[in-house]
Structure 1
C-alpha cells in the first residue's frame, strides 16, 4: 500500500508541483490550502506524513506544527515544514517540533530524499 502524504500550503502552485513530484514516486497525495481545517483533513485522509508551509496567511506554521504534535490523536504524525528562513532547523526530539525542515527554494531530489527518510523511519 502506498504511503499517504498531506501537503498544507496556501500557495496552490507549490501544492501542484509537490503533488506532481510525489505522485511520480508512487505516493498518494492529498492537499489543503485551509490550515484552520487541518485536524478534519488529517482525520479524513489519514496521512503518514504532512508537508507544512511554515508561512501561512491564516496561521503560523510553527504553531500549527506544535498543535499537531501536542494532540494525542496526531502526535506521532511525521511533519516536514517548508521554510524560506535558513535559521529554521529541525530540532532535537522535542514536543511540538517538526521532524525535518525543507528550505525554500528546494529541488525535487531534496523533497524526495526527506520524504523517503521520514517514511522509512
Structure 2
C-alpha cells in the first residue's frame, strides 16, 4: 500500500484530502507546514507528496526544491495543489521540480487520477 503525505495548513482541506485518499486505499500522513513536511518525509518516506504552496514556516516551492535536490528524496513524486492558479505559478511549481500541478479548487476525481498516475509511473521507474 502506498503512503501519501498531504502538506496543507488549512485543516478542512487537509481532512477532505486525507479522507478522499484513504477511500481509495492509500495510507495518509499529514503536515501543516513546510518544516513539518520535511521532517515527516525523513520519518515516513512517503511514496508521494501533495504540497500546497502557501504554507507557514516554509513555502511549498522551497519544500519541493529541497526534496528534489536530495538524492534520497529526489524521486518522490510531488503534486502541487494550490489556490495559486496563474500560468506563472504553475510554471514556477514545475520549475522547482513538481511532477504535476493542480489549481484549487481541485475536483476530487482529478486528484485521485493524478495521484494514481504519479504513483504508477513512480513504481514503474523504481522497478
Is TM more than 0.5 here? yes
Are positions 1:98 and 2:115 aligned together?
Answer: no
Task: Tell me the equivalent position of 2:49.
Answer: 50
The alignment covers a number of residue pairs equal to 118
Per the normalisation by structure 2, the TM-score is 0.85
Q: What is the alpha-carbon distance in structure 2 between the residues aligned to residue 106 and residue 24 of structure 1?
A: 17
Structure 1 stretches of 4+ moved >6 Å: none
Offset of 1:89 from its aligned partner?
Answer: 2.6
Report the 3-state secondary structure (helix = DSSP H, G, I; strand = E; otherwise coil) of the residue aligned with 2:90.
coil
Offset of 1:29 from its aligned partner?
Answer: 0.5
Q: What is the alpha-carbon distance in structure 2 between the residues aligned to residue 38 and residue 108 of structure 1?
A: 22
Offset of 1:86 from its aligned partner?
Answer: 3.3
Preserved contact between residue 34 and residue 56 of structure 2 (Cα < 8 Å): no
Are positions 1:63 and 2:51 aligned together?
Answer: no
Question: Deviation digits for residues 5-61 of structure 1, max 9, x if unmatched?
Answer: 000111111110001000000000000113213332112212000000011132221
Q: CA-atom RMSD, angstroms?
A: 1.7
Question: Deviation digits for residues 44-92 of structure 1, max 9, x if unmatched?
Answer: 212000000011132221121111111122111100011222313368x
Report the 3-state secondary structure (helix = DSSP H, G, I; strand = E; otherwise coil) of the residue aligned with 1:102.
strand
Report the 3-state secondary structure (helix = DSSP H, G, I; strand = E; otherwise coil) of the residue aligned with 1:89.
helix
| Richer in helix (by share) | 2
Alignment of 1:18-57 (within 5 A): 18-57=17-56
Unaligned runs of 5+ in 1: none
Per the normalisation by structure 1, the TM-score is 0.88
